[in-house]
Structure formats: C-alpha cells, structure tokens
C-alpha cells in the first residue's frame, strides 16, 4: 500500500471516529463542534508529519509521542468511545484499522519499550 493511500485512509478513519464521538457526546448532527474540529485538524497534521510513514504503528503503540499531553488524552477518549463502534457503523474502516494493528505487532515494529 502506498504511503499516500494509507495516509488518506488513516485520516478518513480518525474523521469517522471523531464524528461518532462528537455526535454522541456533543450532540452535533451535521458538522463537528469547534473542539472536535480542532482535534481532527491536529490529528491530520500529525498523520502527515509521522516519521515512520509506511512502517507506522498504531499511535498508542508508537515509541515517539508526537501528540501533546492534552491532545493525547482527548484522542484516547475518542478512541475508547469510537473504537468498539467502528465495526458496527464503519465496518470496512474498522476492519482495515484492526488488520493494520495486527500487522504491526510483528518483530521489528517501532513500538514503545516495555509494551510487549
């Protein structure tokens, strides 16, 4: 898979997750609230600037934490809420996200020390 294609899919996945979270938690039906719009923009910039590109693991397994502490906590809340719902509301994106996570659990993936 090309880096550009994977980047696009990651942005689409995080957009879907933030959308589900915002709709449920902030009552937004059409667009993101300002806070969620900022989080999405921040996440997209971080996806674009990831130093691992093709070998990029899931962010929570990465050894480099590029998110600020505050934004990391916000994205964790989004993922905790949206992750289990992805297969129901976005089955293709959810399945692809799970496959990518499983693929990067192999030997040599750039994971944090002590998370095996």
Is the pLDDT score of 107 beyond 60? no
Domain holding 17, by residue range, is 3-103
Q: Is there a domain that residue 108 lies in?
A: no
Q: Is the pLDDT of residue 115 over 60?
A: no
The predicted structure's pLDDT at residue 3: 79
Does residue 53 belong to any structural domain of this protein?
A: yes
Token reading at 74? 């916000």
Q: Sign of the C-alpha dihedral, residues 69, 53, 41, 26?
A: negative
Tell me: pLDDT of 110 over 50. no
Is residue 59 in some structural domain?
yes
Tokens describing residue 61 = 């397994």
Q: Does residue 60 lie within any of the structural domains? A: yes
- At residue 62, the pLDDT reads 76
Answer whether residue 114 is part of any domain.
no
Q: How far apart are CA 70 and CA 20, in angstroms?
A: 20
| Percent of the chain predicted with pLDDT > 70 | 85
Between these two residues, 106 and 32, which has the higher pLDDT value?
Answer: 32
In a domain? residue 112: no
Q: Is the residue at 35 inside a domain?
A: yes
Residue 116 has pLDDT above 80, yes or no: no
Question: CB neighbours of 73 closer than 8 A, spacing ≥ 6?
Answer: none
How many domains is the chain partitioned into structurally? 1
Q: Is residue 83 part of a domain?
A: yes
10-51 pLDDT per residue, tens: 899 999 999 999 999 988 777 889 999 999 999 999 999 888
14's CB contacts (< 8 A; 6+ apart) are 40, 43, 44, 47
Mean pLDDT score across all residues of the chain: 83
* pLDDT digits 0-9 by tens, 61-105: 778 888 999 999 999 999 999 988 998 999 998 888 788 777 766
SS3 category, 111 = strand
């Amino acid at each position: 898979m090309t880096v550009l294609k994977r980047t696009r899919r990651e942005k689409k996945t995080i957009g879907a997750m933030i959308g589900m979270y915002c709709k449920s938690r902030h009552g937004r039906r059409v667009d993101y609230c300002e806070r969620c719009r900022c989080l999405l923009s921040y996440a997209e910039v971080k996806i674009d600037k990831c130093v691992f590109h093709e070998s990029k693991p899931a962010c929570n397994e990465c050894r480099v934490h590029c998110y600020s502490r505050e934004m990391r906590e916000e994205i964790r809340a989004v993922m905790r809420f949206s992750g289990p719902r992805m297969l129901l509301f976005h089955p293709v994106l959810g399945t692809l996200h799970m496959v990518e996570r499983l693929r990067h659990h192999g030997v040599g993936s750039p994971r944090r020390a002590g998370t095996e």
